[in-house]
Structure 1
Amino acid sequence: MQEFDLFHQKTKKINQFSGYLLVAIALTLLSIGIVALFSASGKFVLGKESQISSLMLRQFLWIAIGLFSCLIFSLIDYHKLLQLSNWLLIFGFFLLILCFVPGIGHKVHGSSRWISVGGFNVEPSEFSKIFISLFFARILSDAKKKVLFFVSPFFTAFVTMGLFVSLLIISGDLGSSLLYFMVFVLFLYLGGISLKWILPILGSGILFVLIVALLMPERRSRLLAFLAMDQDKEGKSYQVWQSLIALGSGGISGLGLGNSRQKMFYLPESTTDFIFPIIGEELGLWATLLIVGLYLSFILTAGWISLFAPDKEGLMIGTSLTSLIGIQTLANLGVVTGLLPNKGFPLPFISYGGSNLVFCLMSVGVLLNIHRQRPPEFHIKVEEKGAQRSINL
């Protein structure tokens, strides 16, 4: 049993420092994003090298808001957030409805998913992801209790998910609607539903979103372009091809910081969804592998914190927020490398834009709060059955 005592000691030490590691990784990704954005937004300075572009000023403001939100959410007991989850969910739904109100809602690339606030465009679906995660964690942590009028919590979660996804589909944001559905499926699994039920539900949901996408001309053209990228280099596949050119031009060592050619109006959205290829072009393969490694470390650290949450609600919330950031990262990297159809998912912590950045930092705050409330002592119990051994935390 000496090997398990050693394992227990190492696990305890990792558990103690996982919060610091999570903050360090998040700040490192933020720093990379600032440098990458400064380089990619150089074309907007228009020869005034001594001035910081308006994009940088706005991004610094969003970072300040995000760090403040991270601090607040790290100090607020997440159990109090759970108690307020009903009101937070209603508030999130109200914000999504505002996207359709003339004068408030703002349409971008054919999607009505933004609202204008004080000269800034805010994407409510980003913040609602935290609200719906809190709500699902509260009602599904104990599947035996009834939520309202003796209604099953799983049915309540399904109706809630359906309302949010319907609004997102109407707004034209199919990517976020699929993300919300995947969060729902994740909570079903965490709530104890068998995989024999979850897999058909997951497949049906993906098929439904795909059918809706094929019925929308703009989305259908993107899917068809993805299936025939070689035949549409100047059309819907133009952006992806320019992204691949940027990554290929960088090689192993890169062209040098600030020396990207694709950012000079060849690659659209080079400061937002397609900032990763600019990093690869300027700093090379090693930089892109470092970033991928940082994201992997972030997911593993956040997952570790979630694993040692003090209760099931904490486990559910932490796992949900970790998965949301991980899925968005995979989706962005998949799009810029041509492995997935083009969809506007920003690269967490790095891409220009406020809504997703604030969501990610708020998620870090919630994870830190979960980490702060972890049990001071935990026990690892080893059960032996014949030649098999299992470890229970």
Structure 2
Amino acid sequence: MGKKILKSYDYSLIIAIILLCIFGLVMIYSSSIAWTVQKYHYPSDYFYQKQKTWLLLFTVVFVVAAIVPYKIMKFTQVMVVIVLTSLLLLLGLFWFGDVTNGARSWYLIGSFKFQPSEFVKLAVIIYLAAVYAKKQSYINHFNKGVMPPIIFLFIICFLIILQPDYGTASIIGFIACMVIFCSGMSFKTIGKLLLIALIVLVPLVFAAKGYIFSEKRLARFQVLENPFAEEYVQKAGYHLANSYIAIGSGGVNGLGLGKSIQKLGYLPEAHTDFIMAVIAEELGIWGVGFVILLLAYIVLRGIYIGLQCKDPFGSLLAIGISSMIGIQSFINLAGVSGVIPLTGVPLPFISYGGSSLLMLAAASGILVNVSMFVKYEKKYKPEQAVTDKKPVTKDGKVFYI
């Protein structure tokens, strides 16, 4: 039994995750050396050593998530814990949260900073996957099948917007859309849901337009046209202008590992949101291509796992986690290259950050776990891949829950 389970793990997926983490550790060391000494007056390897610690914790969380059967997460008791914990963590920020970059998004415990919204992303995926998997037989029943999870999602996004953190709220919204779209709802139901969303959101956005579209936020859009313009280059366009310089300086082959110029104080926090700019400058198109190909493999592999999984809960989990990694990767890469405004979203598995890394450890571990069950049931228990689930007939269609 144990050998069969070990043979069923998706080792190509595990190797891709390991390679990204190791590569990210190397680039964090390279990109943070000067900034660590100049701004924080810490030893040059400070962030490198901290990321090593986070990677050790990453390994523990990843292994646990990959071993413990994912199916226990759809139990009602687990769902109650996930929902209550998410709400309490977000509500607690308004009393105990630490303000960073104008947003009350962090808990500060000594020298340890914890961003609960990172874990709420995964909590939303698990919750939506579990609820819609259970509602397969009546998923198009609007009041009973569709709306209850949407209300929870609205509350979560609203609490995050109040911090304010529009970037994270948008990411959670996009991830939820992917899960809902793949949940089995009819296009008619999805269309009705979109119409209600517009009716609710448009008046809210209009009422708060002065707060949402502040001068600072609008400047992020304006600098996209030309961050080197005199009125932007030392203000709103400073980060993007230096990112362009880093990417352009790298060319095809790069300047060489450790030889970035922009990381020497010109590109702020190069080890977090702008780490891809340093990769482009030092390793050129080869380093950028290496990261993008591995991220793309993880995302596409996850979607394939979701399509192969016969269990609706496992399928939605895999699609939701893959979407999260893909959406965050796109937002980071598009922001660094000036395709969309900067949002402060880290690059998965590469950027420095404990909260993001531990969330990814749990998410990727769950994805590997789902993959293992799919391969195991397909190879060793093909007759149970469907028959171990309860068949429910609705409108002439058979659903397995």
- Confirm or deny a common fold (TM above 0.5): yes
Distance 2:319 2:20 in 1: 20
Deviation at 1:305, TM superposition (A): 2.1
Deviation at 1:130, TM superposition (A): 1.4
Tell me which residue corresponds to 1:38.
Answer: 29
Distance 1:306 1:191 in 2: 11
Which residue of 201, 222, 227 maps to 2:194?
Answer: 201
Confirm whether residue 243 of structure 1 aligns to residue 249 of structure 2. no
Deviation at 1:242, TM superposition (A): 0.6
Aligned AA for 2:81? W
Tell me which residue corresponds to 2:92.
Answer: 98
Aligned-residue sequence identity (percent) comes to 27
CA distance 1:240–1:17, change in 2 (3 Å)? farther
Tell me which residue corresponds to 2:48.
Answer: 56
Tell me which residue corresponds to 1:225.
Answer: 223
Tell me which residue corresponds to 1:253.
Answer: 253
CA distance 1:339–1:369, change in 2 (3 Å)? same
Distance 1:166 1:227 in 2: 31
Confirm whether residue 68 of structure 1 aligns to residue 70 of structure 2. no
CA distance 1:46–1:130, change in 2 (3 Å)? closer
Q: Does structure 1 conserve the Cα–Cα contact (< 8 Å) formed by 2:228 and 2:241?
A: no
Q: TM-score, normalised by structure 2?
A: 0.82
Q: Does structure 1 conserve the Cα–Cα contact (< 8 Å) formed by 2:62 and 2:364?
A: yes
Q: Does structure 1 conserve the Cα–Cα contact (< 8 Å) formed by 2:9 and 2:372?
A: no
CA distance 1:333–1:18, change in 2 (3 Å)? farther
Tell me which residue corresponds to 1:325.
Answer: 325
Deviation at 1:254, TM superposition (A): 0.8
Deviation at 1:26, TM superposition (A): 0.5
Distance 1:46 1:182 in 2: 38
Q: Does structure 1 conserve the Cα–Cα contact (< 8 Å) formed by 2:122 and 2:363?
A: yes
Q: Does structure 2 conserve the Cα–Cα contact (< 8 Å) formed by 1:141 and 1:191?
A: yes
Aligned AA for 1:363? A
Q: Does structure 1 conserve the Cα–Cα contact (< 8 Å) formed by 2:161 and 2:169?
A: yes
Distance 1:124 1:33 in 2: 22
Confirm whether residue 22 of structure 1 aligns to residue 13 of structure 2. yes
Q: CA RMSD in A?
A: 2.8
Deviation at 1:215, TM superposition (A): 3.4
Tell me which residue corresponds to 2:314.
Answer: 314
Which deviates more, 302-311 or 114-123? 302-311
Tell me which residue corresponds to 2:181.
Answer: 189
Deviation at 1:219, TM superposition (A): 2.0
Q: Does structure 2 conserve the Cα–Cα contact (< 8 Å) formed by 1:106 and 1:115?
A: yes
Q: Does structure 2 conserve the Cα–Cα contact (< 8 Å) formed by 1:249 and 1:281?
A: yes
CA distance 1:56–1:72, change in 2 (3 Å)? same
CA distance 1:238–1:46, change in 2 (3 Å)? closer
Deviation at 1:18, TM superposition (A): 7.0
Structure 1: stretches of 5+ with no match in the other structure: 1-15, 381-393
SS at match of 1:171: coil
Distance 2:103 2:372 in 1: 39
CA distance 1:340–1:196, change in 2 (3 Å)? farther
What is the 5 A alignment of 1:286-365? 286-365=286-365
Distance 2:259 2:91 in 1: 43
Q: Does structure 1 conserve the Cα–Cα contact (< 8 Å) formed by 2:104 and 2:163?
A: yes
Deviation at 1:41, TM superposition (A): 1.4
Tell me which residue corresponds to 1:111.
Answer: 103
Aligned AA for 1:43? A
Q: Does structure 2 conserve the Cα–Cα contact (< 8 Å) formed by 1:74 and 1:366?
A: yes
Aligned AA for 2:247? L
CA distance 1:94–1:254, change in 2 (3 Å)? same
Confirm whether residue 134 of structure 1 aligns to residue 126 of structure 2. yes
CA distance 1:338–1:314, change in 2 (3 Å)? same
Tell me which residue corresponds to 1:270.
Answer: 270
Distance 1:135 1:363 in 2: 13
Confirm whether residue 376 of structure 1 aligns to residue 378 of structure 2. yes
Tell me which residue corresponds to 1:7.
Answer: none
Deviation at 1:143, TM superposition (A): 2.9
Any idea what the Cα deviations from partners look like across 1:277-336, whole Å, max 9, x if unmatched? 101101111211121111111111222222222400000011001100100000000000
Distance 2:189 2:222 in 1: 31
SS at match of 2:263: coil
Any idea what the Cα deviations from partners look like across 1:20-58, whole Å, max 9, x if unmatched? 0111000111111011011111115649xxx66221121
Confirm whether residue 88 of structure 1 aligns to residue 82 of structure 2. yes
